[in-house]
């Protein structure tokens, strides 16, 4: 709505502006109805998960601490080892039944390449139970 303010004579001029308030109201109602009536999109991935094992293992698994220091030194349960020795240890661990859990604990200053090389060696030699420990040092 438009009002002529300050015109004492009250000229009868034609209003040339279109009143858009009803158009905006209709558009908002239609938009609300469209949002309400659209079906909910479910982005679900269907996975066939195995049944949980209710009985714990009789003996706890053996764990091996595998450390990577900031200078690239690799330690096996706290003892420094070279690459050929590490490969033989990983091959023995991969062939044992059940496989031991390998806990990789890289120093926060260790180079990514050194840690990736250790993980690639473990995967190449068949070790499957590998996890990271010492994540709290990155907080």
Domains of the chain: 63-138 (3.30.420.270)
User: Please, which residues have CB within 8 angstroms of residue 7's CB and are 6 or more apart in sequence?
Assistant: none
Give the range among 54-58, 82-86, 107-111 with minimum mean pLDDT.
Answer: 54-58
pLDDT tens for each residue of 28-54: 999 999 888 887 777 777 878 888 877
Q: Is the pLDDT of residue 2 over 70?
A: no
99 by Cβ neighbours in 10 Å (0-12 / 13-18 / 19+) ranks as middle
Q: Is the pLDDT of residue 130 over 60?
A: yes
Q: Which carries the bigger pLDDT value, residue 9 or residue 80?
A: 80
Q: What angle do CA 128, 131, 85 make, to 5 degrees?
A: 65
CA distances, 7 to each of 13, 15, 77, 89 (Å): 11, 14, 94, 98
Cis ω for the linkage preceding 98 (within 30 of 0): yes
Name the range with the highest mean pLDDT among 32-46, 70-84, 124-138.
70-84
pLDDT at res. 59: 80
pTM over 0.85: no
pLDDT at res. 48: 83
Q: Is the pLDDT of residue 3 over 60?
A: no
Q: Is the pLDDT of residue 9 over 90?
A: no
């Amino acid at each position: 709505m438009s009002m002529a303010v300050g015109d004492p004579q009250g000229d009868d001029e034609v209003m040339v502006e279109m009143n858009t308030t009803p158009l905006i109201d209709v558009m908002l109602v239609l938009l609300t109805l469209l949002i309400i009536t659209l079906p909910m999109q479910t982005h679900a991935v269907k996975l066939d998960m195995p049944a949980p094992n209710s009985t714990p293992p009789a003996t706890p698994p053996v764990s091996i601490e595998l450390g990577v220091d900031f200078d690239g030194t690799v330690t096996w349960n706290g003892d420094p080892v070279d690459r050929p020795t590490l490969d033989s240890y990983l091959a023995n661990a991969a062939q044992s039944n059940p496989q031991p859990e390998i806990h990789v604990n890289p120093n926060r200053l260790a180079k990514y390449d050194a840690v990736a090389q250790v993980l690639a060696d473990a995967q190449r030699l068949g070790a499957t139970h590998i996890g990271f420990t010492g994540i709290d040092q990155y907080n």
